[in-house]
Structure 1
């Protein structure tokens, strides 16, 4: 099942993980919901499409993109800078946290 949920933008957020752009009134939350035979592969295909059209993958669910694909959505250099100034190296790397789900990647074609 395809999940489509328009979300009203509350303004311009210029943070590292912002999904809001200057001309955006709404953002669209898109996802796959339910049980499917090829759910990991379907999620990867959807995440690649979202990235291709300039969207970002939410960090609240599993990310199936590889490290390079993931960081093409976000400013990796800014992420590293913020980790350095905030002592963030005591925590797990963000990609490892949201995409380091080896058990689900077995059936994914790279």
Structure 2
């Protein structure tokens, strides 16, 4: 399943409209977190360090923090934010990428 299709399903089923609502849903559903991380990332949202252009949500080795940023040509371009809450970091990267509101 693509990440876009999964997000459309969540929007319909749970009436999600904000980062906070998506983060709250993720906090209640560990299986959903895994589904999102494993969904087809054809829309430039990545959850592990890669060389691809796009939005990233990457955890530190200790899982103490999550870094959300946009990367182009292998370099962090802009938007780096650091989160201690994984669910908020995932919701933020999805919203910042524009994927949540794309049709």
TM-score of the two chains, using structure 1 as the length reference: 0.27
Q: If the length of structure 2 is used for normalisation, what is the TM-score?
A: 0.29
**Structure with the bigger percentage of strand:** 2
